[in-house]
């Protein structure tokens, strides 16, 4: 395929530029069964305080890329540095403890209260380790719930919370480690409109309160992007099609090429929307 790369201002190497939170160079991942290339020659830099959207069709490589960032796998070739540590030269268990990773597929006992779920973020466990949590840790768990605007859920069982409430509880849990990088894997999956908007508002507030926190959000819908999202990366068939500022990447032309359908993009008051005009012409 022919890729189109948008100018990426995050590659500025001046002395004023802060150290990268994520630094990928010529990264490829090959599935040994069938010798299938999942990611091909990916270069990407994420810096403190940047908020990225990661988009692409199903099978484009988004999940694999997010697993690399979460130190859950290694590349076949190329180098991956996360929080200053290069995969293959660091104990990934220590590195994972410094990365917030939120996915709706996460296993959480439904009978745990929201406060107990957040507490497990301190130990990185599924079940609470009650003897480990002193008064300070318990207080911080309450603060994380308040930070996501759900402090009233502290004593509510996770299993009876709505999808939007669960998403915010899991984000609060991830923040217990005070991560410099927060990975959000389709956090809006199956949310209704009010729950989606509540979560977008919470992420907006979170970014304002943590100016150095970097985030990467995987989504299929531009409508789910918070106004704080300033950068976007588009994947197509395992290769970067475009990366950089959202105003340069999220265009009719790039999204049409990315998804293979004629797409029109609109933006109003910092929020995005897209609709299909039909299949893109074959070129």
The CATH number for 217's domain is 3.40.50.300
Partners of residue 234 on adjacent β-strands: 55, 242
Q: Is residue 37 part of a domain?
A: yes
Q: Is residue 185 part of a domain?
A: yes
Q: Is residue 104 part of a domain?
A: no
Q: Are 83 and 181 in contact (CB under 8 A)?
A: yes
Q: Are residues 63 and 194 in the same domain?
A: yes
Tokens representing 44 are: 């990407």
Q: Are residues 71 and 200 in the same domain?
A: yes
Residue-by-residue DSSP string for the chain: --------GGG--STTSPPPSEEEEEEEEEETTTTEEEEEEEEEEE-TT-EEEEEE-TTSSHHHHHHHHTTSS--SEEEEEETTEETTSS-HHHHHTTEEEEETT----TTSBHHHHHHHHHHT-SS--GGG--HHHHHHHHHHHHHTT-GGGTTSBGGGS-HHHHHHHHHHHHGGG--SEEEEESTTTT--HHHHHHHHHHHHHHHHH-TT-EEEEE-S-GGG--TT--EEEEEETTEEEEEEEHHHHSSHHHHHHHHTEEEEEEEETTEEEEEEEEEPPP-
Q: Are residues 90 and 170 in the same domain?
A: no
pLDDT band at 3 (very low <50, low <70, confident <90, very high): very low
Q: Are residues 157 and 259 in the same domain?
A: no
Q: Which of 127, 152, 178 is the last residue of a domain?
A: 178
Q: Indicate if the pLDDT at residue 71 is higher than 70.
A: yes
Q: Is residue 229 part of a domain?
A: yes
Q: Are residues 154 and 185 in the same domain?
A: no
pLDDT band at 6 (very low <50, low <70, confident <90, very high): very low
pLDDT band at 11 (very low <50, low <70, confident <90, very high): very low
Q: Going by C-beta distance under 8 Å and a sequence separation of 6 or more, which residues neighbour residue 249?
A: 6, 231, 232, 233, 234, 242, 243
Tokens representing 196 are: 């989606």
Distances (CA, A) of 120 to 106, 125, 172, 272, 281: 12, 5, 10, 35, 50
**Which residue range forms the structural domain that includes residue 190?**
9-98+180-279
For residue range 120-179, list pLDDT tens digits in order: 999 999 999 999 999 999 999 999 999 999 999 999 999 999 999 999 999 999 999 999
Mean of the pLDDT values across residues 52-64? 95
Q: Are residues 174 and 184 in the same domain?
A: no
For residue range 272-283, list pLDDT tens digits in order: 999 987 665 555
Other C-beta atoms lying within 10 Å of the C-beta of residue 252: 14
Q: Is residue 188 part of a domain?
A: yes
pTM for this model (two decimals)? 0.89
Q: Are residues 254 and 188 in the same domain?
A: yes
Q: Which of 178, 196, 211 is the last residue of a domain?
A: 178
For residue range 97-120, list pLDDT tens digits in order: 899 999 888 889 999 999 999 999
Q: Is residue 1 part of a domain?
A: no
Share of the chain above pLDDT 70, in %: 91
Q: Which of 127, 159, 178 is the last residue of a domain?
A: 178
Q: Is residue 44 part of a domain?
A: yes
Q: Are residues 149 and 217 in the same domain?
A: no
Domain count, the chain: 2
Q: Are residues 187 and 74 in the same domain?
A: yes
Partners of residue 46 on adjacent β-strands: 22
Q: Are residues 130 and 150 in the same domain?
A: yes
Q: Are residues 202 and 266 in the same domain?
A: yes
């Amino acid at each position: 395929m022919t890729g189109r790369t948008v100018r990426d201002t995050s590659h500025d190497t001046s002395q004023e530029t802060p150290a990268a939170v994520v630094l990928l160079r010529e990264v490829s991942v090959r599935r040994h069964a069938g010798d299938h290339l999942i990611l091909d020659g990916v270069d990407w830099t994420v810096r403190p305080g940047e908020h990225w959207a990661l988009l692409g069709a199903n099978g484009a490589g988004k999940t694999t890329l997010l697993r690399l960032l979460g130190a859950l796998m290694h590349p076949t070739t190329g180098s991956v540095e996360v929080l200053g540590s290069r995969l293959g030269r660091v104990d990934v268990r220590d590195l994972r403890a410094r990365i917030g990773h939120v996915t709706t597929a996460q296993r959480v006992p439904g009978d745990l209260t929201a406060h107990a779920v957040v507490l497990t973020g301190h130990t990185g466990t599924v079940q609470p380790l009650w003897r480990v949590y002193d008064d300070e840790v318990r207080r911080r768990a309450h603060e994380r719930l308040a930070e996501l605007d759900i402090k009233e859920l502290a004593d509510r069982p996770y299993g009876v919370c709505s999808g939007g409430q669960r998403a915010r509880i899991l984000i609060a849990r991830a923040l217990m480690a005070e991560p410099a990088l927060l990975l959000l894997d389709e956090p809006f999956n199956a949310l209704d409109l009010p729950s989606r908007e509540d979560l977008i508002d919470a992420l907006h507030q979170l970014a304002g309160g943590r100016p150095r926190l970097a985030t990467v959000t995987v989504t299929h819908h531009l409508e789910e992007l918070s106004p704080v999202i300033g950068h976007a990366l588009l994947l197509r068939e395992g290769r970067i099609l475009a990366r950089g500022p959202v105003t340069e990447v999220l265009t009719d032309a790039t999204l049409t090429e990315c998804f293979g359908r004629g797409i029109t993009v609109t933006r109003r008051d910092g929020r995005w929307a897209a609709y299909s005009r039909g299949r893109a012409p074959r070129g």
